[in-house]
Amino acid sequence: MPVLRVALDLPLHRLFEYRAEQASVADIGRRVRVPFGRGEKIGIVVAVVEQGEWPLEQLKAATAILDDLPPLPDDFFALCEFASNYYQAPFGEVLMQALPVGLKRLAAPQRRAGRAVKAVAPLAPPALTAEQATAINAVAIAGGFSAHLLFGVTGSGKTEVYLRLIERTLALGEQVLLLVPEINLTPQLEARVRSRFPEHNVVALHSELAEAARERNWRAAFSGAAAIVLGTRLAVFTPLPRLGLILIDEEHDPSFKQQDGMRYSARDLAVVRARQQAVPILLGSATPSLETWANAQGSRYALLTLRERANPQARLPAVRLVDTRRMVLREGVSEALVSAIRQRLERGEQSLVFLNRRGYAPVLACPACGWVSRCHRCAANLVLHLADRRLRCHHCGLEERVPRACPTCGNQDIHPFGRGTQRVEEWLQGEFPDARILRVDRDSVKSRKQWEAMLDRIHGGEADILVGTQMLAKGHDFPKLTLVGVLGADSALYAADWRAPERLFAQLMQVAGRAGRAELEGEVLIQTQYPEHPLFAALVAQDYPGFAAGQLKEREQAGFPPYAFQAVLRAEAPAMADAMAFLAQAVVLPPVAEHEQVMLYDPVPMRMARLANLERAQLLVEAGSRPALQAFLPRWRAAIEQLKQPARLRWHLEVDPLEL
Ligand code: ADP
Ligand code: ZN
Ligand code: ZN
């Protein structure tokens, strides 16, 4: 009697065996319904064997093997297996998280007809610049696996390169996987892809899609009916029978990193996948991640550069610093910025004031007794939202009404401290009463619909001044936008997180790239108290390579990634002592002594030590090479799993953490 070895979505590093009379190896890769505990579960058949590990009479029979889909292919298993090993995540969890929810349901999956794709009236593609042509040829002639970094400022024509490469791939009858950070923020890219390839089926895959649509699109990708899959990080696992090319737009974007469950980097997995399936991969960015940049400086990735803006009339904006040290600022805004905005208003152009902090003020405080609005569940302040008169925790979502007086001493004169987008918006409205001001942040834009409506208003010229967070920084073309003012950038300059400068530089380059996209010249004013900081010098010169070289040198000296390889073990519990004690046990487990090339640091409370009533601590693991770290982790993880732990403690391992 055949025995099925089944992967289930459970936090256990093992497979489960079931009897199945009619099964054969042809069922490997099919979904299967099996009894589990008192109920049933959907799993995936990983192997069909004659002799299981358990005596046959102890095995339960599988309820049904589902054959509404062809079996999942070997390459899907290969990628999941890699991810499972690399990220120390149970194989069953990895397989199951890669499937759309509808396919994991016990209820019979519903079949729906595919949706016809709207054909738009396509524009003729522009003649390529020499640099674009070189980049396209480099990828096209490579053959088999090859990894390329397409490095080019915003507007340099990276998307056009993607489109041409897609065109070539489709002509060969192959499929393209195009990964983007947050699809909702870039409806323009999706529209461009659809309109360029009206004859082809383009499907989107991201977590905001309705469940049925996501399943339908996934099936279209898997069956080969979809030629182009445009997706966010979860789409990296989509089985594609004729995959011919992988593209990653804005490869540096932190949202390619999954921050819960299996903490994987979709960008890194995409490179692994390209190698496994012997196809080319192209990573695009104006500000590559330093890991990728280091790979492109070495021989791992080929570096393809687009130096100029593709549209010859669109020049790069001039970036200037506003030294605020000896200035009187009004509500944090300098006279230089005010008069630059006034000029734009007079000329009928748009301005953008960028402040990456939403809300009215980051905290409400009492000058009499020192009370500040704190979240009682987190190690964080409650942010003042005046628009709906709430104090809100941006970490756990806790909300309170704004008190009329200080809750401690009764003082009625309590003040907002610092400023967020709402406060800047309010002040600008007072300063420019006739201007139409639009605030764009996660409070004013909550859904894709609202976002598209907002973009329409901006494009339609219904706004003179935009006040926004990084939502506005990403990939949009606002032809009338000629001024970007940056407030509050200094706080990231000397942050404890050594990745903060990398993120700040990328963010500012990106937001600066919004200015002067069309014929009108753009100007960027950055307010700072540290005008001598090398990060700003690089920004003014728009010199990413110089910035990256400096950062990489610092990291090499300090022994940080990409010159070291890290993992972190985190524990959270109602009491910090429990979390710390658990990590202290992990530091001295036997595998630690046997892996001399791996170094473990002392457990420490996390920078944000309390989140939603849980105390959090972490333990950093570092090695000089990836293989050394990878040899250590599975043994260590297995030992950690055997540790006794307090009932309400939870832990996880993260490999290649972005935030420490
Ligand atoms: P990126 O993706 O690097 O931001 P895009 O591909 O969106 O750049 O190109 C920026 C603008 O330049 C777009 O309006 C695009 O249509 C235009 N463009 C791209 N390539 C060319 C070209 N070779 N000649 C003229 N215009 C181009
Ligand atoms: Zn008080
Ligand atoms: Zn909170």
CA of 361 to the centre of ligand 2 (A): 18
Number of neighbouring beta carbons within 10 Å of residue 280: 23
Does the pLDDT of residue 117 top 50, yes or no? no
Residue of higher predicted confidence among 102 and 118 = 102
Please tell me the chain's helix, strand, coil percentages from 3-state DSSP, rounded to the nearest 5. 35, 25, 45
Mean pLDDT, residues 411-422 taken together = 95
Instruction: Provide the residue type at 219 as one letter.
Output: R
The strand pairing partners of 265, in sequence order, are 257
pLDDT at 172 over 90: yes
| Rg of the chain (C-alpha set) | 27
Q: Residues 131, 307: contact at Cβ < 8 Å?
A: yes
Residue 123 has pLDDT above 80, yes or no: no
Residue 591 contacts by C-beta under 8 Å, 6 or more apart in sequence? 632, 635, 636, 639
Instruction: Give CA angle at 354 (320, 549), nearest 5°.
Output: 55
Least confident range from 247-256, 469-478, 501-510, 584-593: namely 469-478
Lowest mean pLDDT across 28-32, 139-143, 160-164: 139-143
What's the pLDDT at 447? 84
Tens digit of each residue's pLDDT (9 = 90 or more) over 327-350: 999 999 999 999 999 999 999 999
Give the integer Cα–Cα distance in Å for 403 and 279: 60
- Between 225 and 475, the higher pLDDT residue: 225
Q: Is 159 in the pocket of ligand 1 (CB under 6 A)?
A: yes
Among the bound ligands, name the one nearest to the CA of residue 306: 1
Q: How far apart are CA 65 and CA 33, in angstroms?
A: 6
> What per-residue confidence (pLDDT) applies to 155?
82
Domains with residue ranges and CATH for the chain: 3-104 (3.40.1440.60), 130-306 (3.40.50.300), 318-360+419-553 (3.40.50.300), 565-655 (3.30.70.600)
Of the pLDDT bands very low, low, confident and very high (cuts 50, 70, 90), residue 173 is very high
Q: What is the pLDDT of residue 122?
A: 62
Report whether residue 132 contacts ligand 1, using a CB cutoff of 6 Å: yes
Ligand 2 mean position to 338 CA, how many Å?
35
Q: 477 alpha carbon to ligand 2 midpoint, in Å?
A: 47
Distances (CA, A) of 353 to 338, 518, 570: 10, 19, 38
pLDDT of residue 118: 44
The atom number, within ligand 1, closest to the CA of 127 reads 23
CA dihedral 381, 385, 389, 393 (to 10 degrees): -40
Whether 126 lines ligand 1, by a CB cut-off of 6 Å, is yes
- pTM for the model stands at 0.94
CA 76 to mean position of chain CA atoms: 22
524: exposed, middle or buried (Cβ count in 10 Å: 0-12, 13-18, 19+): buried
- Which of 6, 12, 218, 180 minimizes the C-alpha distance to 101? 218
The whole-angstrom separation of Cα 261 and Cα 89 is 9
Q: What is the pLDDT of residue 115?
A: 40
Residue with token string 């055949």? 2
Residue 112 reports pLDDT greater than 50: no
* pLDDT for 60: 96
Distance 417 CA to ligand 2 centre (A): 14
Q: What is the pLDDT of residue 114?
A: 40
Strand, helix or coil for residue 147: strand
DSSP state of 265: B
Judge contact between 93 and 10, C-beta under 8 A: yes
Q: In what order do the strands lie in the sheet with 399-401?
A: 383-385, 390-392, 399-401
H helical segments located in 310-447: 335-347, 421-431
Give the atom of ligand 1 at the shortest distance from the alpha carbon of 162: 6
Instruction: Please give the distance of CA 366 from its chain centroid, rounded to a whole number.
Output: 37
Cα 404 to middle of ligand 2, angstroms: 11
pLDDT digits (tens, 9 = 90+) for 292-324: 999 999 989 999 999 988 877 777 889 999 999
To 5 degrees, how large is the angle CA 490–CA 357–CA 406?
105
State which of 195, 311, 477, 517 you would mutate to test the pocket of ligand 1, scoring each by most atoms of that ligand within 8 A of its C-beta: 311
Give the pLDDT of residue 448.
80
169 lines ligand 1 (CB under 6 A): no
Quick: pLDDT tens for 580-636: 999 999 999 999 999 999 999 999 999 999 999 999 999 999 999 999 999 999 999
- Collapsing DSSP to helix, strand or coil, 247 comes out as strand
pLDDT value of position 475: 61
Residue with tokens 């496994």: 276
Cβ of residue 156 lying under 6 Å from some atom of ligand 1: yes
User: What pLDDT shows up at residue 108?
Assistant: 56
Instruction: Report CA(374)–ligand 3 centroid distance (Å).
Output: 8
Asked whether this complex has an ipTM greater than 0.95, the answer is yes
In whole numbers, what is the pLDDT of the chain averaged over residues?
A: 93
Task: Supply the residue whose CA is at minimum distance from atom 21 of ligand 1.
Answer: 310
Residue 311: CB within 6 Å of ligand 1?
yes
